[in-house]
Amino acid sequence: MTGDWRKEFFQAVDVTLDPVTAHPALILSEKNRRIIWGEKPQDLPEDPQRFYSLPCVLGHQVITSGRCYWEVEVGDSGAWDLGICRPHVTRKGRISIKPEDGFWAIRFYKDEYWALTSPETQLTLKEHPATVCIFLEYEEGRISFYNMTDKSHIHTLSQGSFDGPLRPFFRLWSSDSGHLTICPVSEAAQVPLC
């Protein structure tokens, strides 16, 4: 294949972050595309949509069908989770980020990569990604992650089928995690994966 086959088979989604869902320690900037860890938790109004136990935030977009993708700059971020989740996942108390609880994600933590399955699956990457591309095939029940630095496949999580709406999911682990930035569609990498 030549050119950027993503445009032929997948629709780019212009993901922005939903501030109502953001944990109080997370600060959103750059038109709700960048997540950083604040010096101290913000004094935000109580909201049932907000994450309180884990420093997470959801994308505004609700996906119910089709094949789509978005890209996230992870750069030198020290610890993160990226993926999708059901809109009504648990936000307070004990939260398990795994498919049985409505999350399909990968993790970078302490220089190791993991697929958040049950049990977690350790992943081997040849090169640390500067940008991760997330491909969702809704009807097929698949979410795939690609390293845009070396154009390699990181992992695919297969559900069989999704039976409800999904939202992009992001997590920073701590103040030394750095930041995550969602690439606007117009600036998404123009380099093909193959």
Mean pLDDT score of the chain, rounded to an integer? 89
Q: How many domains is the chain partitioned into structurally?
A: 1
In a domain, 116, yes or no: yes
In a domain, 88, yes or no: yes
In a domain, 190, yes or no: no
Q: State the average pLDDT over residues 62-80.
A: 94
CA distance 16 to 9: 22
Instruction: Write out pLDDT tens, residues 166-178.
Output: 999 999 998 888 8
In a domain, 112, yes or no: yes
Residue 193: per-residue pLDDT: 36
In a domain, 3, yes or no: no
CA distance 99 to 67: 19
In a domain, 104, yes or no: yes
Q: Where residue 32 sits, what CATH number does that domain have? A: 2.60.120.920
In a domain, 191, yes or no: no
Q: Given the structure tokens 């648990």, which residue do they identify? A: 90
Instruction: Write out pLDDT tens, residues 127-161.
Output: 999 999 999 999 999 999 999 999 999 999 998 88
Residue 191: per-residue pLDDT: 36
Q: Which domain holds residue 163?
A: 9-185
Instruction: Write out pLDDT tens, residues 80-105.
Output: 999 999 999 988 888 899 999 999 99
Terminal CA-CA length for the chain: 7
In a domain, 97, yes or no: yes
